Amino acid sequence: MDETQYRSIYRSVNQRKCVFEKTISARRCNCSCAKRFNLADREGIACESSSRYEHCLKLLEQLRQNAGFALHIAHIDGPLPHANELKVQAGGLAGLKDVVLKENPIAADADDIDHLLRTAEQQFGQIEDFPFTEIVKAITRFKGRQYRKR
């Protein structure tokens, strides 16, 4: 199966691609709204909730807007290269987890994206009101997988 055909079938099978697919695939966190599926020899992740999908999409847009300085990019207007996208997603969720746990140390399941986002919305209100200056610090600190020399 060539790549164009794969992507076409992927889009027809996965109507609502998980916004945080890269970080879930990298096993950095999980989500109760995510559903894994296999297509050919690859794994995909779909979002089972249309309303929560919109919240995650809004969060990712805010993370990208605020992460420009941390990534040394002047203007972000769409998907980033894989490593930077993973840094924004995983680092941003780690930063959100840090600020949520700082405010509420007994937050039950901070590794579940949906639960983390709901808890943050209860604490801070709208996504635009989240403390992105603190969250971006975690994006800056985020280190991807380290490769060993052979």
Taking only the tens place, the pLDDT of each residue in 100-139 is: 988 777 766 678 999 999 999 999 999 999 999 999 999 9
145/132 Cα distance (integer angstroms): 24
59-69 pLDDT, tens digit per residue, is 999 999 888 88
Structure letter (DSSP) for residue 16: S
CA distance 130 to 100: 10
pTM: 0.86
Give the separation between CA 127 and CA 58, rounded to whole angstroms. Answer: 7
Domain ranges of the chain: 3-141
